[in-house]
Amino acid sequence: MSLGEFDPNSTVGALEIGVLVSYVLFGFTTLQTYIYFTRFPDDRGRLKYLVTFVWCCELAHVICVGHALYTMTITYYGHPERLARAPDSLTATIVFSGLLAPCVQSFFAYRIYRLSDSWYIPCFCWGLSLIRLVGAAVVSVVGLKMVTFADFEAQWGWLIITVWAVGVADDLVVAGTLDY
């Protein structure tokens, strides 16, 4: 790939914007975590461990995206051909989001069970969370072995879209049920 063919707006520019937004959202997550621990010191240990786990996964996520941004903008500077393959730290973000989202969705599914005393919707949500977890694990493992973005998308793009769609469906079911 020559510099004439390379469009940094569609790769590095999008990554920079995403990283900046991710850091702002991590700031809100940190603030919420601090407020939770100061306002609810008597909550059960399991809930405190869950909040700590979520915050630690978010911390690992922002470290990985920051490293990926540094690698793509500093380490790969002047070598746009290297941008055809993602740094491993960018692939590692899938691991953390793949752990985090199903964990949070499962917690809300449990809240639905506690509020409704019905197993139907929580079990459906837990099933969707499990599908998302397994899909994210497969994407992560395959992503570490990828040769280029184009090859990865051609072979595994359907799985990425499936993982996202399952996550959206789970979020909509949880939000709709809790709202109801």
Q: What is the mean pLDDT of residues 147-163?
A: 82
- pLDDT tens for each residue of 65-116: 999 889 888 887 877 777 777 788 888 888 888 888 889 999 999 999 988 8
CA proximity to 91, closest of 26, 159, 156, 141: 141
For the entire predicted model, the pTM comes to 0.80
| 121-125, 155-159, 173-177, range with the lowest pLDDT | 155-159
**What residue ranges do the domains of the chain occupy?**
1-84, 90-180
